[in-house]
């Protein structure tokens, strides 16, 4: 607190100081996730600049929101009183954090005005690149229908002598994508590539990933082609992994195979991630033989399978009803020095339950716990589901007791199966209790939980009328 | 946040969900029971179910059966005993299809 005098504390930041100091650590984590995507590059940058500028660490921790009103004149007054009470000259970093905190609640125009005001009243303050990045991020986060305010921020930056660089592009792209303005992000990347610099691979791949998520595959390919032909920005191995993952998720294996070929043509050697992704694609379609094929190919080309590879393989084999082989790979992976985790065991249990061997799955739970691997809620859900399906309701109720004790959530399918099994067994009251637990533990929405209960009871009553069930 | 199957059910049949969660003007006996003039079918069911729990109306010998008290009887067709399994159907009687 060297540079901030005591008088300032009482005069300005009442909102900040009034609360106990424990507020600061409690507030920074809540603030961080919100700012994370933008902050990481900008903090990188300010890290670079800070070396030469000798900043006071106490100021950087003082970033919690000072400004409480989005009104510009209030902000100016507040700024004036801060400057008036400060003994030593304030560092640019302090100005930036002030601007940042104002930007969080104001409009872009007001932020720019405040910056102008700061420059005018405080001649010693010269804004640096990260100052403009604050404005840029703010303009990108606003839900505008055009890029006008982003251009405004960029123009301001250029006229102040800072040419947008790769970090600028990254900040803009991430902020735009996170506020759902993906078309604007594409537009801006093209524009910035044309005028200033091309995006680096991280920005590029981030954008590709977002495009894959929200746009058609053809749009992604168009973008890649355009970037390649206009700016010579080529997709790298990570890009291909993203693409393969995307087409696998949409179960388009033919396209995935094509992409693997393209990958080889471009001179990339597939790594563990690519293989894992392809394997996952096959596993999702329950094609165990192909998944094994990929595993063999991996071994042949000298890529060492990792934990994910084995988990995927065991999952795939279990899913396609080849539990025995899956078990074999459990042993192999242990020999290779990988520790099977909850995912491995849950996949195997799933396989066993599918075969109707819920008792075998229960035995596996014991084995798993004996080996020091603790089951998660997914494990329990799988088991409960399996037990209900194999008409081992008493064991299921026992397991449900454990889940309830541990406060675990029920998944939709497991809840439905369990409720149905209870009702079929004439334990309506217990089914109601499970219904209450599902809502209380926030496993399902009330609507979903009730719909299942209602339809199950309807079915039960119908069956009773026809004299079928108990 | 909804699971995919649920989402599909909603997009397939939005009316089904609507008739579960839309507020409905209540007939008089029900109005007295819930203490407000409008409620959804889901809300009404939750009210009745929590009323049963709060007043320990489940039969101690057979938890699947509810022994209705005066108040509950007034909205459940005047019956002394109802089964939990019928509860959704009984509540539904107060929410006829062509309401609105």
Query: Which residues in chain A are contacts of B93 at CB distance < 8 A?
Result: none
pTM across the whole model: 0.69
The pLDDT, as a whole number, for residue A264 is 85
Kindly state whether residue B55 falls inside one of the protein's structural domains. Answer: yes
Q: Determine whether the interchain pair A454/B88 forms a contact, defined as Cβ–Cβ distance below 8 Å.
A: yes
DSSP letter assigned to residue B84: G
Q: What is the 3-state secondary structure (H, E, C) of A46-70?
A: HHHHHHHHCCCHHHHCCCCCCCCCC
Q: What is the pLDDT of residue A5?
A: 40
Strands, E assignment, A2-113: none
Q: What is the CATH number of the domain that holds B31?
A: 1.10.245.10
Is residue B14 over pLDDT 80? no
Tell me which residue range forms the domain holding B76.
Answer: 4-92
Residue with the larger pLDDT of the pair A4 and A222: A222
Partners of residue A428 in chain B, C-beta under 8 Å: 63-64, 83-85
Q: Which long-range contacts (CB under 8 A, 24 or more apart) does A336-340 make?
A: A336/A305, A336/A310, A338/A306, A338/A307, A338/A310, A339/A307, A339/A373, A340/A310, A340/A368, A340/A371, A340/A373
Q: Is residue B78 part of a domain?
A: yes
ipTM of the complex as predicted: 0.85
Residue B99 lies in a domain: no
Which chain A residue is nearest to residue B20, measuring alpha carbons?
A: A447
Tens of pLDDT, residue by residue over A57-84, are 333 444 455 777 778 888 888 888 887 8
Domain contains B25:
yes
Does residue B97 belong to any structural domain of this protein? no
User: Which residues does chain B have within 8 Å of residue A411's beta carbon, measured at their own beta carbons?
Assistant: 3
Asked, for residue B100, whether it belongs to a domain, the answer is no
Average pLDDT in chain A: 80
Assigned domain for B70 exists? yes
Contact B76, B82 (CB under 8 A): yes
C-alpha distances (whole Å) from A140 to each of A15, A100, A169, A171, A215 are 28, 14, 11, 9, 20
Inspect the interface and report whether the beta carbons of A461 and B86 lie closer than 8 Å: yes
Interface test with A, best of B44, B45, B88, B91 (most A CBs within 10 A): B88
Considering the domain boundaries, does residue B98 fall inside one? no
Q: Please give the full DSSP string across A427-458, using - where no structure is assigned.
A: -HHHHHHHHHHHHHTTSS-HHHHHHHHHHHHH
- Please work out, in degrees rounded to the nearest 5, the angle formed at the alpha carbon of residue A191 by the alpha carbons of A235 and A196: 85
pLDDT, tens digit, 9 for 90 and up, residues B35-86 = 888 888 888 889 888 988 898 888 888 888 888 888 888 888 888 888 888 8
Total domains in chain B come to 1
Q: How far does A414 lie from chain B, in Å, by closest CA?
A: 12
């Amino acid at each position: 607190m060297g540079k901030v005098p005591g008088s300032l504390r009482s005069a300005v930041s009442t909102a900040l100081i009034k609360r106990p100091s424990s507020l600061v650590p409690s507030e920074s984590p809540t603030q961080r996730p919100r700012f994370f995507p933008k902050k990481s590059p900008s903090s990188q940058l300010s890290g670079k600049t800070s070396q030469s500028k000798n900043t006071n660490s106490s100021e950087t921790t003082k970033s919690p929101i000072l400004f409480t009103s989005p009104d510009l004149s209030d902000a100016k007054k507040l700024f004036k009183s801060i400057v008036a009470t400060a003994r030593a000259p304030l560092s640019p970093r302090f100005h930036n954090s002030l601007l940042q905190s104002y930007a969080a609640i104001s409009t872009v125009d007001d932020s720019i005005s405040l910056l102008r005001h700061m420059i005018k009243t405080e001649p010693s303050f010269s804004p640096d690149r990260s100052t403009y990045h604050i404005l840029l991020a703010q303009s990108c986060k606003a839900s505008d229908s055009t890029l006008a305010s982003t251009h405004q921020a960029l123009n301001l930056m250029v006229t102040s002598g800072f040419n947008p660089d790769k970090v600028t592009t990254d900040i803009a792209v991430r902020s735009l994508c996170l506020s759902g303005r993906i078309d604007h992000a594409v537009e801006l990347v093209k524009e910035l590539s044309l005028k200033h610099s091309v995006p680096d691979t991280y920005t590029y791949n981030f954008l590709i990933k977002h495009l894959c998520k929200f746009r058609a595959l053809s749009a992604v390919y168009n973008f890649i082609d355009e970037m390649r032909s206009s700016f010579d920005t080529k997709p790298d191995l990570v890009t291909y992994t993203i693409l393969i993952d995307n087409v696998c998720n949409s179960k388009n294996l033919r396209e995935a195979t094509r992409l693997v070929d393209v990958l080889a043509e471009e001179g990339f050697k597939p790594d563990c991630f690519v293989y894992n992704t392809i394997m996952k694609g096959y596993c999702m379609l329950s094609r165990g033989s192909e998944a094994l094929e990929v595993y063999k190919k991996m071994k042949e080309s000298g890529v060492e399978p990792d934990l994910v590879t084995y988990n995927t393989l065991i999952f795939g084999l279990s899913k396609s009803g080849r539990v025995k082989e899956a078990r074999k790979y459990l042993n192999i992976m242990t020999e290779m020095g990988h520790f099977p985790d909850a995912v491995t065991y849950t996949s195997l249990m799933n396989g066993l339950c599918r075969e109707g061997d819920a008792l075998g799955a229960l035995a596996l739970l014991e084995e798993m716990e004996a080996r020091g691997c603790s089951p998660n809620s997914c494990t329990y859900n799988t088991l409960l589901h399996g037990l209900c399906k194999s008409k081992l309701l008493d064991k299921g109720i026992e397991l449900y007791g454990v889940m309830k004790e541990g406060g675990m959530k029920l998944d939709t399918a497991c809840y439905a199966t369990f409720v149905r099994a209870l009702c079929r067994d004439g334990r309506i009251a217990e089914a109601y209790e499970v219904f209450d637990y599902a809502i209380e533990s926030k496993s399902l929405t009330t609507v979903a939980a009730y719909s299942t209960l209602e339809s199950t009871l309807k079915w039960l009553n119908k069956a009773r009328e026809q004299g079928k069930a108990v | 946040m909804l699971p995919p199957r649920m989402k599909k059910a909603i997009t397939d049949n939005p009316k089904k969900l609507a008739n579960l969660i839309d507020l409905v003007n209540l007939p008089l006996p029900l109005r007295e029971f819930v203490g407000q003039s409008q409620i959804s079918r889901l809300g009404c069911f939750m009210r009745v179910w929590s009323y049963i729990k709060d007043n320990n109306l489940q039969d101690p010998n057979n938890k699947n059966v509810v022994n209705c008290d005066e108040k509950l009887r007034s909205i459940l067709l005047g019956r002394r005993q109802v089964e939990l399994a019928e509860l959704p159907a009984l509540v539904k009687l107060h929410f006829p299809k062509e309401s609105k």
